[in-house]
Structure 1
Amino acid sequence: MTQHVLVYFMTSLILVSAQDVKYLLKGQDIHLMPSISEQPIRFIWQHNKNDVVFFTGTEEDVPSSYKNRTTLDRVSAELTIKNATYEDSGVYLLEMNINNKPDTFHCTIEVIDKVSKPNISCEMSDTKQATLVCSTESKHPHLLKFKWSSPGKEQTGPNLTITDDHVYRCDVSNPLTNETASFTAKDCFLGKRSDALLIIILVCIFILVIVVCCVLYINHQYLKGTETQHDK
């Protein structure tokens, strides 16, 4: 009873203090390799407090959800889980008995996706300043890191304020993969300037039309007045 309480206390302490995370890509195999001094008499692997495999000393007991997915080394207690899914993320705990003494081992796994090709968009503040926004789809956005680079300049974060038309590169990475995209800021400024120029041209044409109409109207009224005086 005392040993059981001790093991439970140690397990709870380990789960709370687990900080080191091992990252794996979806589809890879999970290899759990405990560092133990001697072959355990019996042991049990758990994932988020749910049983994965229990070794009695002579036989293995594997729940149906892990059937045909696990490979166990009965001597070293090493466990392999094939074709990892996102649901396989979490804390793995090994409880074992070596020379009639309880011992534990834990490992935190996080299954993540590859970084997809980033997309860069331009948001103009005015004709002289713009903000480049780098974005990408991910099931684990909290793991993404963004870095902007251009000749002689680097900046972290997904957004970058620019005032020139250089070529900018956005690097997006997670703990295992990275992707890069480039953007020519000239396209952004030219588009804005072209829009502004088009608006100016349209306004000028509108004003010119108004002026022409006014001149024609005034001329028409003048001719009408002249014809009336001539009739008299």
Structure 2
Amino acid sequence: MARYFLTCWCVLTCSLQVFGQTPSYFLIGQTFHLKPIMSEQPDKILWKHNGKKLVEFNGKEEHVYGQHQHRATLDWITAELNITHVRYEDTGVYELDASNSNMVYQFFYRLQVIGKVSKPTITCTVRKGDSDESGPEATLTCSAESTRSESLVKYEWQSGGNVVPGQKLTIPLGDEHDNQIHTCRVNNPLSNEVETFTARSCYSDGGLSVGLVVGIVVVVLIILSVVLGILFCKRARKGCFAKTSKGDVEKQTPRGKEQDKKKKIFHEENLKLLTVGDSGGKKPKWPPSPLGQFYSPDLPNVTSGEKSHTEEGHVKRRVSEIEKQSTGDFSLVSTPA
């Protein structure tokens, strides 16, 4: 009877101690080892997890129960327990009852399986400074993917040589502050991750700086002006960008119209000269030369045959001169001797 009460007292005391102690942490997927310290080799061994049988050795054979099958191994001499590929479900209290003919052993372990923290992300919220403040400010928020062990995750900032706990950090913006780098560290008992953030990145997250806005507006206005200019040019003058010949340009001006009129007159005179043979023997009146002189078909010391030939030459020469004048070439023509 006394031994029974002693055992009950031991179990109660150990239970109070185990729930008050800090748990041992293991990363998910790893292997943990529970090794009790005993002075004698036990004959019987029983491990429990949260009050349920995990593995039992009765001195002859071993039995593994539940979710721990194929993952739990037991050392029959030392009563050491090994569990591979631990899961979140393996978190809890592990209890060992071992005995031999002389001793009874009892041990309690509190274990917690946790995951690695993920890479944090940093977001920025810009808020304009009040009139009594030196300038605009921003709030940085550091966050990591949530896990089952969220309560164990801690956040802290390193900024300007200071360590600030928590997920949020208020920073100043503008001038030299925009180049300052702020570091967020996320950790749990077995892992940690860091991420850095430059203050000027707040402008791309929370808004645009004044200089950038002005630059964008100027570029947009320039592009709009070019487009409107092209459209206006095409509407007002259809051939704005087309190549225009010299003749087309002259036709569009008063000088061009005058040239057309002169060409018509010279052409008529040319026809009269070409029909000199059909004039009934009458000598045609020669138009004046550019020097105010007149060409005469009567040349001294010329026979009738030579005279006819000479007249024909004069006609051809005059036609050539008229053509030159009709094309705008008003160069002086020497009077034949």
TM range (shorter): 0.7 to 0.9
**Does the CA-based 8 Å contact 2:28-2:85 persist in structure 1?**
yes
Match of 2:278 in 1: none
Whole-Å Cα distance in 2 between the matches of residues 56 and 190 of structure 1? 68
- Farther-moved stretch of structure 1 (40-49 vs 125-134): 125-134
Whole-Å Cα distance in 2 between the matches of residues 192 and 109 of structure 1? 44
Match of 2:17 in 1: 17
RMSD between aligned alpha carbons? 2.4
Once the two structures are superposed, the pairs formed by residues 142-161 of structure 1 within 5 Å of their partners are 142-161=151-170
Whole-Å Cα distance in 1 between the matches of residues 205 and 32 of structure 2? 50
Whichever structure has more helix as a proportion of its residues is: 2
Match of 1:38 in 2: 40
Match of 2:183 in 1: 169
> Residues 16 and 125 from structure 1, CA distance in 2 versus in 1: closer, same or farther, beyond 3 angstroms?
farther
Q: Structure 1 residue 151: deviation in Å?
A: 3.5
**Aligned counterpart in structure 2 of residue 187 of structure 1, from 192, 196, 201:** 201
Whole-Å Cα distance in 1 between the matches of residues 22 and 162 of structure 2? 33
TM-score (norm 1): 0.78
Q: Which structure exhibits the higher relative contact order, with contacts defined as CA atoms closer than 8 Å and separated by 6 or more residues?
A: 1
Aligned AA for 2:65?
A: P
Whichever structure has more strand as a proportion of its residues is: 1
TM-score (norm 2): 0.55
- Farther-moved stretch of structure 1 (118-127 vs 69-78): 118-127
Once the two structures are superposed, the pairs formed by residues 48-67 of structure 1 within 5 Å of their partners are 48-67=50-69
Whole-Å Cα distance in 2 between the matches of residues 192 and 62 of structure 1? 58
Larger Rg: 2
Matched, 1:129 2:129: no
Match of 1:112 in 2: 114
> Residues 189 and 21 from structure 1, CA distance in 2 versus in 1: closer, same or farther, beyond 3 angstroms?
same
Q: Structure 1 residue 158: deviation in Å?
A: 1.0
Q: Structure 1 residue 88: deviation in Å?
A: 0.1
Q: Structure 1 residue 14: deviation in Å?
A: 2.0
The percentage of counterpart residues that share the same residue type is: 38
**Secondary structure at the residue paired with 2:208?**
helix
Segments of 4+ in structure 1 off by > 6 A? none
- Farther-moved stretch of structure 1 (37-46 vs 121-130): 121-130
